[in-house]
Homo-oligomer: A and B are copies of this chain.
Amino acid sequence: MVDDAEKKLLADAGHRIRETRAAQGLSLEQLARLTGISAPALSLIETGKRDPRLTTLKRIADALRVAPATLIADGPGTVEPSASSSAGGYDLGEYQ
C-alpha cells in the first residue's frame, strides 16, 4: 500500500524531470554540472529508483527553470480539498 503509491510517485516525478530535461536538450552530464548532482544519481532519480531529498529536487527544478511543484504535481492524485467533506479518506477515528 505504502510502497505502491510511493513508487508511482517517484516514477512520475522522474518521468517529468526527464521530459523537462529532454525538452531543453540537456544530457545527464550537463544537468549534473548545473545541479551539482552526479549523473548516476540523476539517472536513478529519473528512473524512479531513488527517493530524492527536498533540496535535491529543488536544485533540479532550479537548473531546469521550473517550479519544484511542477516536477511532483501528482496530476490525478491531487485530491484538492474540494470534497473535504466529512467523508474524507480517514479521520483518525480510533486514534484520536
Contact = CB atoms under 8 A, between A and B. Distances in A.
Given A2-B36, A30-B92, A95-B33, A54 B72 contact: yes
Contact of A54 (B57, B69, B95): B57
Contacts of A13: 54
Contacts of A88: 65
Interface in A57-96: 57-59, 62, 65-70, 72-74, 77-81, 84, 88-90, 92, 95-96
A78 B68 CA distance: 8
A65 B57 CA distance: 22
Interface string A28-42: 001001101000000
